[in-house]
Chain A
């Protein structure tokens, strides 16, 4: 086996990477553009980042997004973990396949449909739309992802570990907290980071379920861009890319640790 790439592999890899990342790279470069014109290079500057942090509308949207992300990721992870635990442990339960299918279905459901159905639900029960409804919507789809991540870890978890803990003096609840939880903790962390990241960059579902006064960052960017791209948007997008990449990298690291153990 050779470690060196053949020129064919190197070329195809370069082209593929360029296709995926060149647009993002251009966006990042232009966020440091001195000029107000987005497509004309006017020298290096970080002034748009400064502008961004003085823009009230962006800051409040960022604050909304952060709150939605933190709350929805936490609740989604909690519910997703419980669902995964119940489904993995209730091996004999009748209709188990149906239940797990129903939990995983929203993963492949078009976001427009999820958003629309939630909107209809909120209208029919007369719920005022705002940050609460966005959080609820994000919990709904975040939970599916969290339960997939956690259950893949639980399937590999040896149930006799819990019995051993009971045998050594734990009640079943103590056994869960002193053995099961620490062992699956990396998967739970990965699930939380995934749910948080997904909430951070969701546009479609948030647009359907938000109301006046509750605008998330992706929504704000989208509405701004329709009026024309400004260098501020480039700066903001660069920051978002940074956050999301860090989230995804941490999630995959945590997931990898879970798999190794």
Chain B
């Protein structure tokens, strides 16, 4: 068995890209603030955040369209800042695809190689190869306005990849495609990245997309990194309420830490209710304000109090969202806060017999949630 791909966990590994204390200001506005980040060879790295968080600015600094106000960006240990975009071993796939409307698919793809002065025979060979890889061979002589959205996206990808960059930047690459096509294309993109072994950095605001394609995700907020982690860690072990809330659905209950015991703590969330038991690696002192982040699929819902549950609270069904494969129940607790509980509909949902206004119990294991201090 090969060990899992995780060069970031190896302290001796040399990163491909090192961003060191980079700040970018536009006038008085700080788009990126004192940001440091290392990206390794062959990674599929996602930069995720709400619009205006500085993710696009960060990508444009990698491409060379913006220069950092402070700090430096290294590629293979070499400072990138004096190198113009044209000379960087970095290529970018633009959000609008930016295909040249006056050139055919073939000539669009060959554009960068011609600029480099690559011999004609080699250009033809590399263009043919890349067109086969992205399944565009039949469209070589078409102009961009004769292509569908998905085909244009593949031309843009091929045009950036054919130069064999060390780093490929993708700015919201699938944003213009409809949902079904987007999902298919995500897997295609992963396949291409694995085949070529190029390092990909994708910028997106779509957390599902980032979770699907990437080896690691950097979540950005207001110009700073909120957390950098694998998709699993980000979902299961978020550092902050912002990350927990930004990735997937979550219920956040606030409370006060009570006694610590057996590798966990108690959390008092409501007067009159028993303290919640939470397993947590860090045990803050009693009296600290803390939050419990709970994923809805880890919370079960039932009419009777489950006998063996670590944590159980009584409430009333406020809303039911039936999504076909799953149903999400919004349960209101006596103090007015709401817990989301999700049940998969392996049996038809209407047989469960829980409906609006029903008194119910929500229950979860002591290791189901995450205790957050920020």
Contacts and interface: CB of A to CB of B under 8 A. Distances in A.
Given A167-B91, A261-B101, A158 B163 contact: no
A160 B95 CA distance: 9
B101 A168 contact: no
A166 B86 contact: yes
B63 interface: yes
Contacts of B159: 164, 168
A120 B151 CA distance: 60
Contacts of A183: 100-102
Contacts of A241: none
Describe A's contact surface by its main secondary structure. Answer: helix
A228 interface: no
Interface residues of B, number: 25
B102 A182 contact: yes
A25 interface: no
Interface in B16-39: none
B145 A168 contact: no
A160 B85 contact: no
B98 A158 contact: yes
Interface string A102-145: 00000000000000000000000000000000000000000000
B230 to A, nearest CB: 29
B94 A160 contact: yes
Interface string A140-180: 00000000000000000010110111111111001000010
A163 B101 contact: no
Contacts of B90: 167
A261 to B, nearest CB: 5
Contacts of B163: 168-169
Contact of B63 (A165, A167, A169): A167
A161 B100 contact: yes
A164 B86 contact: no
Contacts of B65: 163, 166
B111 interface: yes
B271 to A, nearest CB: 57
B351 interface: no
Instruction: Give the size category of A's interface with B.
Output: 10 to 19
Interface string B83-114: 01111001110111010111000000001100
A165 B116 CA distance: 12
A165 B107 CA distance: 13
A163 B85 CA distance: 9
A160 B96 CA distance: 8
B86 A170 contact: yes
B101 A165 contact: no
Contact of A164 (B84, B94, B116, B145): B94
B85 A167 contact: yes
Given A167-B92, A168-B111, A261-B145, A160 B86 contact: no
A164 B92 contact: yes
B115 interface: yes
A171 B100 contact: no
A159 B152 CA distance: 18
A163 B91 CA distance: 11
A185 to B, nearest CB: 8
B92 A179 contact: no
Given A164-B94, A261-B102, 7 more contacts: A158-B98, A163-B85, A164-B92, A166-B86, A168-B160, A169-B163, A170-B86
Interface of A: 158, 160-161, 163-171, 174, 179, 182-183, 261
Closest 5 CB pairs of A and B: A169-B115, A168-B112, A164-B98, A160-B98, A182-B102
